[in-house]
Amino acid sequence: MFVGGPPRQSRAGLLFAAFTIISLVLLLASRTPQARAVQQVGAQALDPVRHAVTGMGESVAGLFGTLGEIDRLRTENEALRGEVAGMQQRIAELTEAARENDALRDLLGLRDSLEMELLPVRILSVDPSNFSWEVGIDAGSDDGLEAGMAVVGSADGAGALAGTVVSVTDETAQVRYVIDSRSSVIAVDQRTRALGLVQGRLGGELIMVEIDVGDEVAVGDTVISAGLAMGEEIRSRYPAGLLIGRVQAVETEPGEGLTQNAFVAPALDFRRLDRLLVVTSFVQE
């Protein structure tokens, strides 16, 4: 059993290692060619480590640069998306304004061509059902409107009978279209002058009934308002000559066959109307 300090060989090894380290430090610190050669060898040995550390730094810097670029692009995309939405809204507004201008131009053309007093109105409300074809308009008794006045629309620039005013308030009125099943108007086949009664039907259709079986009515004929009333003492509320529609089919009434019916396609697209003209006064010849 050994007692005391470390063996002599261990102490000698430690002294040799310390001497070697001190010599290297002194050598590296000197400016002799040998020192420089040792320094160059050491630098070459450390190059891989230095390049690795430098590469890691560049990768980290590149990563942060990429994240910054992504954030910048995201901000730009959001700004562009907002600009596109604004442009789409502006296009929609301009398109609607152009459509309204076209509608107003047609109505103004009718005011010039029809020999009657006409008041332009805008449709405020619509009954969406197929059982009642009535709309609310933005004019009433304060504007001179009365129940029974005829209402006109534009069918490709031609004056077409839309319906009649059925009720009024101070500032609004209710219009019943001719395609309403409660509506009827005396009409005439423009080509043959055959008379009949045009009535509305459920679903927004028209039928011309009570046509004398001896009168000629054919598919494609134009049907217009006759400007006649039921009785000699009653003035028709509808001006004569307003377009109603075109004949699509003709059938003879069953039974004795004294009358015939004509199915009429309306001249107006009543689902797309947004402006009308109320006939406030006209002269019937």
**Cβ-based neighbours of 221, under 8 Å, separated by 6 or more:** 189, 190, 191, 192, 246, 247, 262
**Cβ-based neighbours of 215, under 8 Å, separated by 6 or more:** 189, 192, 194, 195, 260
Q: How far apart are CA 150 and CA 225, in angstroms?
A: 11
Give the pLDDT band (50/70/90) at residue 186.
Answer: very high
User: Which of the residue ranges 76-85, 107-116, 156-165, 208-217 would you say has the lowest mean pLDDT?
Assistant: 107-116
pLDDT for 69 equals: 81
Give the pLDDT band (50/70/90) at residue 217.
Answer: very high
Average pLDDT over residues 3-18: 55
Give the pLDDT band (50/70/90) at residue 3.
Answer: very low
List the structure tokens of 53.
């550390």
CATH number of 118-282: 2.40.10.350
pLDDT for 109 equals: 67
Q: Which amino acid is at 34?
A: Q
List the structure tokens of 2.
């050994």
Q: How far apart are CA 31 and CA 281, in angstroms?
A: 118
Give the pLDDT band (50/70/90) at residue 191.
Answer: very high
Range from 6-15, 164-173, 268-277 that averages highest in pLDDT: 164-173
Angle between helices 8-29 and 33-113 (to 10 degrees): 60
Q: How far apart are CA 261 and CA 203, in angstroms?
A: 18
In this predicted structure, the answer to whether residue 257 has a pLDDT above a threshold of 50 is yes
Residues 21-47: tens digit of each pLDDT:
655 555 555 555 655 565 565 556 555
List the structure tokens of 123.
């449709």
Domain extents for the chain?
A: 8-113, 118-282
pLDDT for 37 equals: 60
Taking the CB of residue 91, how many other CB atoms lie within 10 A of it?
10
Outline where DSSP puts E strands in 143-239: 150-155, 158-168, 173-177, 184-189, 195-201, 205-212, 222-225
**Cβ-based neighbours of 120, under 8 Å, separated by 6 or more:** 104, 107, 111, 275, 276, 277
pLDDT for 246 equals: 97
Higher pLDDT, 164 or 109: 164
